[in-house]
Amino acid sequence: MAESSTPAYREPSVATLRHTLPKLLKNPLGTLVGLADAAPGQVVQLNLGTIRPYLVVEPAHVQHVLRDNAANYTRAGDSMLWKSVKKIAGDGILAEGPDWEASRRRLQPHFTAKRIDAVVDGLSRAISDAVDELNAPARNGEPVDAASEISRIICQAVIRVFFGDKISVADGVRIVAEQNTVATALRFRLLIPFLPDAVPMPGDRALRRAVRNIDTIVLPLVRAEQAHDDGSDDFVASLARGRDAHGHKLDEQRVRDDLVSIFVTATETTYTALTWIFPLLEQRPEVAARLYAEIDRVVGPGDVISHQQLGELRYTRMVLDELVRAYPSGWLVPRTAIADDLIGGTRVRAGDTIILSPYVTQRLARFWDRPTVFDPERFAPDTPRRAHRYAYYPFGGGAHQCIGQYFFQVEAPLIVATLLSRFRYRLCTPGMPSPRLAATLRPGERLPLLLTPHRQPALA
Ligand code: HEM
């Protein structure tokens, strides 16, 4: 058993079913933050009847689970999130154990800063082309749906740089739609996690159908790549040519799992995060004004943003750092304890569910000044360093740290700056939507936007 930073034994703070469940069902995230704020330095046990997961939010405790004693905390346990992720992403990088390790080894080289920097121009061009499609609705005064448009732009970008345009954007958008079905199907199981798998829930059938539909798109692509090696070195081709540790050709299911894992993580997390930017900027006009001023200074009318311009978008990056503090799409990072352990002095037993949540930690009042205020200044270069590395971990940590973090940090400013250099927007339904509990953190309501052209050379 490994010891954590607090050696003395400590009872967890217990939140009981009778008090907690109604609040959790009504306002899950606010309730979790409230419980954590009320128990400084403590692990919180959520006493939900037959299951009693531990909410672990103190940065030192998060570090213990994700890094210092990570070997004791697995994704291959009973947690609903990972069981459901497995249904869609299979036994690849989102799994655990030797399959995860092999997959991580295969995929990691494609996500180094060097590899991503090399595709910035192609990525920026793909984003620019995708944003161009908003010219017509902007000209005609037709509202567009923020989430659908951001997800289409991301799909086009990801398909261009990782899939070498080998699937159509229409198929990419279909995969995202199927993912949405999966993310929402999970909703019921995340809300009522103590229900056994055998109890059917709304959304289960939709989940199975969504996975079948994704396979109809991805498997033929994998088969075609494996049958005809044309020597190309894009992501799909190099995965399809991949070999396992014994030098054997990877079977099609492994390649499928890697491709689907990357496609879903690259699209879902980014578009759910970026969708929040529209209501947030409306809430903070002074942040919006500063962001617009930077973008207008750095990006000329109609520009495809260059690598150098990207480097000059400093405030844009601060806005995005703050965005994933306040609305981290990976809000829930569960684990299952393999053996008994102490977390911050609290005993957890083999088989217990541990709930980590970047959302909750990144809103703890004792680590963040005015945590509910959207304030990019927290990430200004001259702001003192945070009290603890794990007070801010939107991209996780330890061996499972997000492999797409650098890609996000390049792609997201390109999307925001391309869009806002060409358009201004108004939300048709003003106000801040509440988050909706799903596998990722998404706005609970649709966000229709009215775009108006801004400084464009001449709209086609
Ligand atoms: C706002 C954007 C993103 C957020 C907030 C985010 C968050 C996270 C978090 C919290 C983890 C850790 C999961 C765990 O410990 O179990 C993770 C892992 C992962 N992320 Fe991201 N991510 C984002 C973007 C991306 C992108 C763009 C990609 C791909 C291009 C990506 C691919 C992955 C993969 C493959 C893993 C699993 C790594 C492993 O277990 O070895 N993510 N991400």
Report pLDDT for 242: 84
Report pLDDT for 2: 45
Per-residue burial over 306-330, b if 16 or more Cβ lie within 10 Å, else e, is eeebbeebebbbbbbbbbbbbbbbb
CA dist 253 and 237 (Å) reads 15
Tell me, using a 6 A CB cutoff, whether residue 394 lines ligand 1: yes
Helix axes 405-422, 285-298, angle to 10 degrees: 90
Is the model's pLDDT at 298 over the cut of 50? yes
Report pLDDT for 306: 97
Is the model's pLDDT at 317 over the cut of 60? yes
Report pLDDT for 75: 92
Q: Kindly indicate the confidence band of residue 203, based on its pLDDT and cuts at 50, 70 and 90.
A: low
The neighbour count for residue 453, using CB atoms within 10 Å, is 15
Tell me, using a 6 A CB cutoff, whether residue 79 lines ligand 1: no
Q: Which of 274, 236, 239, 290 is nearest to 408 (CA)?
A: 274
Tell me, using a 6 A CB cutoff, whether residue 77 lines ligand 1: no
Tell me, using a 6 A CB cutoff, whether residue 320 lines ligand 1: no
pLDDT digits (tens, 9 = 90+) for 135-185: 999 999 999 999 999 999 999 999 888 888 788 888 888 888 887 777 776
User: Which residues make beta-bridge pairs with 448?
Assistant: 145
Q: Write the CATH number of the domain with boundaries 13-453.
A: 1.10.630.10
Report pLDDT for 325: 97
pLDDT digits (tens, 9 = 90+) for 370-403: 999 999 999 999 988 778 999 999 999 999 999 9
pLDDT digits (tens, 9 = 90+) for 45-78: 988 777 788 999 999 999 999 999 999 999 987 6
pLDDT digits (tens, 9 = 90+) for 349-374: 999 999 999 999 999 999 999 999 99
- Spatial strand order in the sheet of 423-427: 144-145, 448-453, 423-427
Cα 261 to ligand 1 centroid, rounded to whole Å? 10
Cα 21 to ligand 1 centroid, rounded to whole Å? 29
Residue nearest atom 23 in ligand 1 by C-alpha distance: 269
Radius of gyration, CA atoms only, the chain: 22
Tell me, using a 6 A CB cutoff, whether residue 104 lines ligand 1: yes
Residue nearest atom 28 in ligand 1 by C-alpha distance: 404
pLDDT digits (tens, 9 = 90+) for 206-235: 778 888 888 998 899 899 988 887 777 788
Q: Is 155 within any annotated ligand binding site? A: no
The distance of Cα 76 from the centroid of its chain, to the nearest Å, equals 20
Cα 270 to ligand 1 centroid, rounded to whole Å? 10
Residue nearest atom 41 in ligand 1 by C-alpha distance: 400
Contact call for residues 278 and 427 (beta carbons, < 8 A): yes
Burial class (CB in 10 A: 0-12, 13-18, 19+), 166: middle
Residue nearest atom 40 in ligand 1 by C-alpha distance: 400
Contact call for residues 210 and 264 (beta carbons, < 8 A): no
- Give the residue, out of 80, 159, 265, with the most ligand 1 atoms within 8 A of its beta carbon, to mutate for a pocket test: 265
Report pLDDT for 460: 46
Tell me, using a 6 A CB cutoff, whether residue 407 lines ligand 1: yes
